[in-house]
Chains A and B, each alone.
Chain A
Amino acid sequence: MSVQDFALAAEVAARRRWGATAALLALVVLLCVLSLGIGPVRLSPLAVIEALFGGGSDVAQVIVREIRLPRTILAFAIGGILGLSGAALQGLLRNPLASPSLFGAPQSAAFGAVLVIALGLADVRSYALPVVAIIAAFGSVFALLAIAGRNAGLLILILAGLAISSFAGAATALVMNLSSNPFVVLEIAFWLLGSLEDRSFQHVALALPFIIVGGAILLSQASAFRALTLGEEAAQSLGVDVGRLRLYVITGVALGVGGAVAVTGTIGFIGLVAPHLMRPPIGHDPARLLVPSALTGSALLLAADIAVRIIPSTSDIKVGVLTSIIGVPFFLYLIMRERRALGGGVA
């Protein structure tokens, strides 16, 4: 291949990347608009737009601006941080099966949030909730990486992640059982299934600062992820402090996932699916994957949250259920694809 050919191929790839990113952005904007337009009360598109900018009846205004807008913002931000966290973890571990939910981070964050509620320590709309959720998420990812060690294979990561998420789930149920709050069963359902229903700007204020900081930390490590593709030693020779990188990633993921879970409960598998959807158009460069993965995560969660509102059902479908129903088969498919690596080359 001549230098010219190479430059041309690079240009084509770059164009494809930008095209894909622009298309994603358009999709996310479209889904945001749809999310504002859909709800149990039917409002015409015109009424929605009018209400959004402060016109129309006060009922329509409240519905659009105080009920649907915070929900849309949260779906966008939380989907984004989950997609970004997945891409970052996959970049850090150079492992396509890495994702927050497989590592038990959301489950652990939910445990933290439930602990605050069960002990009756604070209002559910206070910062105590995200802070404790973040600490729990940090603990789980830290523990996982510590247990799995530096160059952990897929199998060890998955097994350790399974153990941690089962433990967090059991601890959540136990804490709820010991709680004096008499409505434990419904509360467990909320924290384990995840939902964006009836959130308000109080919730946005609760989660968004942590999501933004977590997201910024993860994005700032883009070049380190790229260097890491050459192997840990090569990355080190390029000036990447792998130990510190790990700490940054854990912190970023914990902040983002903890903040998200504190207002929506656990929403799984978006972090796993989003980067995979972006590899065909974007390529395997983990640095370039970050932003498209975040956008894909946003699009996935917005779409799932729209779907739970339009699927006819007698009681509300929880959005976390939908993401898992789509995510788990996808995960199984990935395992099948990675069978050789998992089975040590025997399969």
Chain B
Amino acid sequence: MMRRLAALAAAAWMSCGAASAAGPRIVSMNVCSDQLVLSLADRDQIIGLSRFSRDAWQSWAADKARNYPRLSGEAEDVLLLKPDLVVVSLFDKRATRDLLKAKGLHLVEFTVPRTLDEVKDQIRAMGDVLQHPDRAEAEIARLDAAVARARDLADVHHYRVLPLERRGFVPGDSSLISSLLAATGLSNAASELGVGAGGFASLEAIVKLRPDFILVSEAGDRAEDDGRAFLLHPALERFYPEGKRIVLPERLTVCGGVMLADALDRLTEELKRVTR
């Protein structure tokens, strides 16, 4: 589906006769598509990245993004840049997307992937859009290799892991993180909490559940706000000190993209650390 859309968009662009040898000039308006574009496109194909592209907390490719212009997030500067294609997420502002479409720009809309397979589809689709399908295949191969490495380690033990976010939010079965855990053969303790599509778990319920490890996005013991303080509650720290916390930085898991290979390698490393 994704791929067909992308091919359509690419075809639409080429039918406009704007094709050049270097492939389409692209603007990305979403921090997730930024990272796909940055890893698959040629340098001169990228003429603008999203407002949050340089945010190291959200983007795995924040450093790389510094070499490119950053957009405001509004329609104005995109119109001015006259890109061949605009990559957006369906979660971006509707009004902005409609305006760009109305002004005759070609938009490629990406959804938020929920599973590893969807992620691979998106990588492929972006490869087609950027006319670099070979690079996309290479990234997918890298992802598969990382899955295999993690599986080799995790599959043996079937540890019960509970992904836990600020304020006790537990991502549900359909989240990307669950898909990562499933791919490696780790057992996701979230299903035992009955949070379904994701929800807040109480401290008491977590303590009672006693998964082998909790998966968090940050190490350290500073609580910059109340949501983070939840994860540092003494009751949780008693059962889950540093040695029982798998730390996967948010920037590796918040988007589904090529960085998931790094996320899986990090997961493998962390598993080695906590099971030592």
Contact = CB atoms under 8 A, between A and B. Distances in A.
Contact of B225 (A40, A124, A316): A124
Interface in A168-182: 181-182
Interface string A244-256: 0000000000000
Interface stretch (B19-27, B94-102, B137-145, B231-239): B231-239
Contacts of A40: 202, 204-205
A124 B228 CA distance: 9
Interface residues of B, number: 28
B210, B226, B229, B230, most chain A CB atoms within 10 A? B226
Contacts of B239: 62
Contacts of B167: 186
A117 interface: yes
B226 A200 contact: no
B235 A66 contact: yes
Nearest to A316: B200
B105 to A, nearest CB: 29
A198 B233 contact: yes
Interface of B is mostly: helix
Contact of A198 (B203, B210, B223, B228): B203
A190 B226 contact: yes
A197 B207 CA distance: 15
Interface string A178-220: 0001110011001000000110111000000000000000000
B57, B200, B202, B227, most chain A CB atoms within 10 A? B202
Nearest to B238: A62
Interface residues of A, number: 27
Contacts of B205: 40-41
A190 B57 CA distance: 23
B234 A200 contact: yes
A124 B204 contact: no
Nearest to A125: B223
A63 interface: yes
B226 A62 contact: no
Contact of B200 (A39, A183, A315): A315
A187 B223 CA distance: 13
B168 interface: yes
Given A40-B202, A41-B204, A117 B227 contact: no
Contacts of A5: none
B157 interface: no
Interface string B193-233: 00000011011110110100000000000111111111011
Nearest to A183: B227
A56 to B, nearest CB: 13
B234 A66 contact: yes
Interface in A54-103: 59, 62-63, 66-68
Interface of A is mostly: loop
Contacts of B199: 315
A204 B233 CA distance: 13
B166 interface: yes
A107 to B, nearest CB: 17
A70 B168 CA distance: 18
A66 B230 CA distance: 13
A40 B201 CA distance: 9
A319 to B, nearest CB: 15
B226 A67 contact: no
A186 B229 CA distance: 13
A19 interface: no
Contact of A59 (B57, B202, B207, B230): B207
A237 to B, nearest CB: 50
A40, A181, A315, most chain B CB atoms within 10 A? A40
B91 to A, nearest CB: 15
B224 A181 contact: yes
Contacts of A187: 225-227
Contacts of B208: 41, 59, 63
Interface in A108-137: 117, 120, 123-125
Given A63-B235, A183-B166, A200-B234, A123 B223 contact: yes
A201 B234 contact: yes
Contacts of A59: 207-208, 210
A173 to B, nearest CB: 15
Contacts of A62: 207, 235, 238-239
B229 A125 contact: yes
A182 B57 contact: yes
A186 B210 CA distance: 27
A67 B224 contact: no
Interface in A137-195: 181-183, 186-187, 190
Contacts of B224: 117, 120, 123-124, 181
A255 to B, nearest CB: 22
A12 B207 CA distance: 52
A153 B203 CA distance: 47
Given A41-B205, A120-B224, 17 more contacts: A41-B204, A59-B208, A63-B204, A63-B207, A66-B233, A66-B234, A66-B238, A67-B204, A67-B233, A68-B204, A117-B225, A124-B223, A125-B223, A125-B232, A181-B224, A198-B203, A198-B233
10 contacts: A41-B205, A59-B207, A62-B239, A66-B238, A124-B226, A125-B229, A182-B57, A183-B166, A190-B226, A202-B234
